[in-house]
Amino acid sequence: MREISINTIAIPVLQEAFGVNEHIRDVVRRFAYHGFVALAPELYHRTAPGFEGLYDDVGTAVAHMKAMTPRGLELDLEAACAWLMNEAPVLPGEVSCVGFCMGGRAAFVAAALLPLRAAVSFYGGGIASGLLNRVPQIHAPMLFFWGGLDKHIPPEQVAATTQALRSAGKAFVNVEFSQADHGFFCDARPSYDPGAARQSWAHALEFLKSRSG
């Protein structure tokens, strides 16, 4: 059995629009294998508890995503962070977060809302169009991963996000895989890119561990 030390880094893993499905559970298990305390809060618990969407049924997933409210998301992020700080075997200040797609956007919100050590956003949509007003409140260094072929997040939105962070003097790392598409990390999606997934995973682990106390 893998031993968990008291200075373990805690990680909320923030879901895609498709819910806390097998892919997200697998990411949680992968973090746990590397010694993190990881959990995946169910962000649809108010309107669709237990929802696990199909990757070929985007419409249903988007409908549940649109049913979320900004305040509801904030409350869920605060609750996940508080549980990890109070109940998990971690030292104060050793909570970071990682999010994918919708969760990548939520990771940006978390970095502005919570006292995180670091935050990682995989292809987080809607940041440039709706969250740049939160840039002044960003507390944590951020790592962004984008797919260069991603039509959901065009280059101008990536540029607007990074420029806003740069202008505000925030710490961030920006990584684009030019030949990868949206969802490249998920091996259950047609857009899965093994090379980009492998490299981004290694980079994310190093980024998170290097910012532990």
Would you please indicate which residues are annotated as catalytic (active-site) residues?
Answer: 101, 150, 182
**SS3 letters across 14-66:** ECECCECCHHHHHHHHHHHHCCCEEECCCCCCCCCCCCECCCCCHHHHHHHHH
Distance set, CA 35 to CA 64, 115, 209 (Å)? 32, 21, 10
Give every CB contact of residue 56 below 8 A, 6+ residues apart in sequence: none
- Amino acid at the residue 138: I
Structure tokens at 81: 């962070």
Distance CA 81, CA 113 (A): 10
Give the closest residue to 180 by CA, choosing from 168, 164, 194.
Answer: 194
